[in-house]
Amino acid sequence: MSLGPVMLDIAGVALTGEDRERLRHPLVGGVILFSRNFESLTQLEALVREIHELREPQLLVAVDHEGGRIQRFRQGFSRLPAARQLGEIYDDNAKRARRLAELAGWLMAAELRAVGVDISFAPVLDLDRGLSAVIGDRAFHADPDVVADLAQSYVHGMHRAGMAATGKHFPGHGGVPADSHLALPVDGRPLADILSEDVRPFERLVHYGIEGIMPAHVVYERVDRQPAGFSRFWLKEILRGRLGFQGVIFSDDLSMEGAKGAGDVVARARSALDAGCDMVLVCNDPAAADQLLDGLGPHDDPVLHLRLVRMHGRPASGLLELARDHGYREAVHAVTQVAIA
């Protein structure tokens, strides 16, 4: 069975019968976990193992675990700094900031890989323009070159830990005040400005070999009437064509308010896939998940399957081995000192 183009969530800290039935559906290719799915390290490890044992090839297991405000698992995991804290250090000492970004990326990924999680949707490549509260300190900096520099170091750390990286939110969410979880943001800037500023970190990370990209639920009204995640122009002409990206394009959550203008969940998924997304996320709405699995229809794409398989985490140290590692203890000390500063 191939991996399908749909990523779903689950209800709690263990799989229910309904969860297992959904996750065995041929359209499903991954699971995204939230804080409600975490009780302890041993519980999480067992949950991820059970998810992986459901299918062959294994379903992808993902989480949003950036650090700062967006860190789904807390107890037993290191406290990770918000990206902006690394950007502030960069202004005083760029070399130190790059080293800390690499350590933060490695530590985040190493701890998740130790319990079997394949990917964290990180890093954020948006610019901190002081406009977006939902982005805010999740962004490294306002300067696109600093964002790219720190993100490249962060991704290098993730790769050392055996985890593929996903940059978000293409082509940039930092230029709008509205939160796409609650509304459909509209960015009125011309294409030339977006390409010369917001897109630059994405372009550099694509050239560096980043494996995944997540587009924004934002309309760039002077470029296309569709939000970027539903836009052939942004995904096929710019991201695939101009930037040459060959990895996985993950939609942002189709249950967000910024996605609902595309119709019901089946219409949203079809629009996103037709525009160029490889995998669509539907979270926190089991009824919508069932509607999508019933209504989307077959989706057999060998290229998609190959892209998704490359997102699986590489073999990594387990929890006990990681805890005994001197480099791990040094990374915990260095990174958590930034997080609590």
Mode of pairing for the β-strands spanning 65-67 and 70-71: antiparallel
Per-residue buried b or exposed e for 240-264, using 16+ beta carbons within 10 Å of the residue's own CB: beebebebbbbbbbbbbebbeebee
Question: By the 8 A CB rule, do 122 and 101 touch?
Answer: no
3-state SS, residue 159:
helix
> Could you tell me the sign of the dihedral formed by the alpha carbons of 47, 51, 53, 57, in that order?
negative
Known active-site residue 25: no
Question: By the 8 A CB rule, do 167 and 210 touch?
Answer: yes
Distance CA 99, CA 113 (A): 21
- Among 285, 265, 333, 297, which residue's Cα sits nearest to residue 27? 297
**String of DSSP letters for 219-236:** EETTT-SSBGGG-HIIII
Q: 144-160 and 83-92 helices cross at what angle (nearest 10)?
A: 120
> Residues 143, 156, 181, 290: which is the catalytic one?
181
Question: By the 8 A CB rule, do 120 and 111 touch?
Answer: no
Known active-site residue 301: no
The angle at the Cα of 251, spanning 247 to 252, to the nearest 5 degrees, equals: 130
> Residues 19, 187, 224, 252: which is the catalytic one?
252
Distance CA 239, CA 121 (A): 18
Q: Which residues are catalytic?
A: 181, 252
